[in-house]
Structure 1
Amino acid sequence: MIFTNLKRVAAIASVALALPNLSAAEIFKGETAGVGDPVHTMFVAFTNQAGKADVEIQVNAGQTLTKSMLKGAKGEIAFFSTVPSLVNLMAGQKRMYEKVAGAPELAKNIRAILGFKAGAYHPVTLAGSGIEDWSDIKGKTVFTGPPAGSASATSEALIKIITGYVAGEDYKAVRLGWGEGYAALADGKIDMMVRPAEIGSANIERFGLSGEFRILSIPEDKIASEEMQGLFGRPGRGMMSFSGDVYKGQLTGGDITALGFTQFIGTNAEVSEDVVYQATKAFWENLSEVHATAFFLKDVTPETAFTSVNVPLHPGAVRYYDEAGIAIPDALRPGS
């Protein structure tokens, strides 16, 4: 009898070993920008809350968002940070997506979970650089962003609208990784850095801890121009104003007018509705913890949930927002 029972236990054990581990949680791949970037801060806040709902997202930081969105559209990763303007570029098979086969169809796979105000473009120059006004950029070396990203093109467009200067002709535009850009400015290898960052960014503040620096404000007489309004009106862009004294050692007095930028957390249309629902629900139900993560995240509220989102929401996110009574713009419902 004992022998028979042992045989039965062994048989059950062998069957169990042959079956997949149903209790093991699936780990989803996610990509975002580098540490210290507001996009990274927000994405990690989202993944931390999603983890409380057993939606485990493995974060690969320091990525170029143009590439992350493409990987998300292909279904190679499940969650990603992205820029609204990139959606139009992929859908139109333009610029960095020009040689991507099937880019317009891939763009149709992108779904949103939530949008947020990420920060503003900071044109930063150290005291003694010789740059005190936009016109002083002529002949100087300016870091405008990473080689493959959209930020460099935006920075160069901003400079051209204000000064008429063309990158590579009137000034030297340097394209490096974000971390390299910070280091180059600190070491005096470049004269100015144009860096998208949250308001009150510790990475910007550090230039005032050992000296003085200046953030150039968009001139008032340029704000109403057709070109500037066009830049403000692009998806994920807008005008922003903040006090110059938010940074210690910052030399521009009064309020600084800047080009603001927004982002959204995206996913693929094929990701499980229940997975996205649970992650979305966990994020909003633990919003107080999100707000405690960083000062700029206090602006993340249900009222700002769809800021600059220009793709349909994922059905899982829609399910949560409908349950929570958060009004969804009709244009963001799948199938609209």
Structure 2
Amino acid sequence: MKLFKHALVAGICAVALAGAANAETRVTYKSAKTSSSYYQMGVQIAEAVKAGTNGDIIVTVEESQGSVQNVMEAAVRSGNYVFTTPPALVELAHSGKAMFEGKDNPKFDEIRALFPIPSLTMHFVMRADTGAKTISDLAGKSILLGKGSFGAREGAKYLKIFDLEDKVALASVELNAAVAALKNKQIDGFVTAGSYPAPNVIEAAASTGVTLISMTDDEVGRTKRTKLVIPAGTYAGVDTDTVTTSLPVIAYTTTDMDDATAYELTKTYWEEKAKMGDANPWWNGVDGEMVANIYGKIHPGALKYYDEAGIAVPDRAR
């Protein structure tokens, strides 16, 4: 009887140890609104991580109302919390400025970067028959900016920077009607921001024929945004590179995540990125050089991967 009890206890312990050894690591990924392309990206990352780690890391995607909420939750969330945000918001949280004024929290100092995801990319899309190719060519044209979005705010800012406010006719059409309005010649062009290739720009290029406004380095500098080049051939009929601006977006976590998890998550992301790009081309716009866009420190686990992979990391991020 004693032998049976010992064997039973040993069996239970073996099962428990096996279960512990095979227990998956769970990660929460705070993304964007479910209607956003960035939420879809989060789902793609979750699927890629599950496949790439054979289920050892399971990522659960949570909807968010925006990047500010994502950063604020870093102060109260524990465990493996991953969130996406433009790095500028992490900088504002560290300094307690703008929307973080009076909301200082020492946990903001524990935010650490993992990897870049597709940037918000500005597109000034013009009907090809307008002949518009440069910022100054927008004068005298009717442009749709939309309302309330990052692209609308950024577009309005650029019109002011380049002294075009009184030289451009702003169309009162919703952005979701931009392609139809362009095709019907109700507008000469529209402004949109999102990861490239953007679905509405693909549609416009295929149905109407478009040109993209390309900027000079001086013009990019005046916007105080990050330069980004949309490669020739990204959109039908656009056969030259387009120099434009972007707002980098980074996946961050906190020091609550252990080094091994941060390493595996970062390593798997980069190793699976090519497969994700085969299904969704916006991943093809992400490369190792975008690590330079990170504000703040990179998580030690992620840093280990970058050093192994030979991806350059700025000294300030180490």
Q: Is residue 247 of structure 1 aligned with residue 238 of structure 2?
A: no
Matches within 5 A, 1:174-323: 182-186=175-179, 193-209=190-206, 211-212=207-208, 214=210, 217-218=213-214, 224=218, 228-232=220-224, 234=225, 237-240=226-229, 242-243=231-232, 246-248=234-236, 256-301=242-287, 303-304=288-289, 306-323=291-308
SS in 1 for 2:306: helix
Report deviation, 1:323: 4.0
Equivalent residue for 1:78?
Answer: 81
Equivalent residue for 1:94?
Answer: 97
CA distance in 2, matches of 1:198, 1:323: 28
CA distance in 2, matches of 1:327, 1:257: 23
SS in 2 for 1:307: helix
Equivalent residue for 1:112?
Answer: 113
CA distance in 2, matches of 1:144, 1:312: 35
Report deviation, 1:94: 3.3
CA distance in 2, matches of 1:306, 1:106: 23
**Quick check: 1:43–1:81 contact (8 Å CA) kept in 2?**
no
Change (3 A) 1:92 1:288: same
Change (3 A) 1:264 1:184: same
**Quick check: 2:214–2:243 contact (8 Å CA) kept in 1?**
yes
Gaps of 5+ in 2: none
Equivalent residue for 2:47?
Answer: 48
Report deviation, 1:56: 1.0
Partner amino acid for 1:161? I
Change (3 A) 1:73 1:216: farther
CA distance in 2, matches of 1:194, 1:144: 11
Tell me which protein shows more helix as a share of its residues.
2
Report deviation, 1:113: 1.0
CA distance in 2, matches of 1:56, 1:276: 13
Equivalent residue for 1:32?
Answer: 31
Bigger mean CA offset, 55-64 vs 33-42: 33-42
Equivalent residue for 1:157?
Answer: 157
Partner amino acid for 1:32? S
CA deviation profile, 1:273-331 (whole Å, cap 9, x unmatched): 22111212223344542443433434544x42613011101121123333445443321
Change (3 A) 1:73 1:292: farther
CA distance in 2, matches of 1:280, 1:290: 15
CA distance in 2, matches of 1:162, 1:306: 30
Report deviation, 1:332: 1.2
Partner amino acid for 2:227? G
Change (3 A) 1:35 1:27: same
CA distance in 1, matches of 2:29, 2:278: 22
CA distance in 2, matches of 1:59, 1:284: 19
Report deviation, 1:265: 1.6
CA deviation profile, 1:117-138 (whole Å, cap 9, x unmatched): 6362113467999x99533467
**Quick check: 2:145–2:155 contact (8 Å CA) kept in 1?**
no
> TM-score under structure 2 normalisation?
0.71
Change (3 A) 1:128 1:326: closer
Gaps of 5+ in 1: 175-180
CA deviation profile, 1:101-150 (whole Å, cap 9, x unmatched): 116x4432221112256362113467999x99533467x6621553xxx5
Change (3 A) 1:289 1:28: same
Change (3 A) 1:258 1:271: same
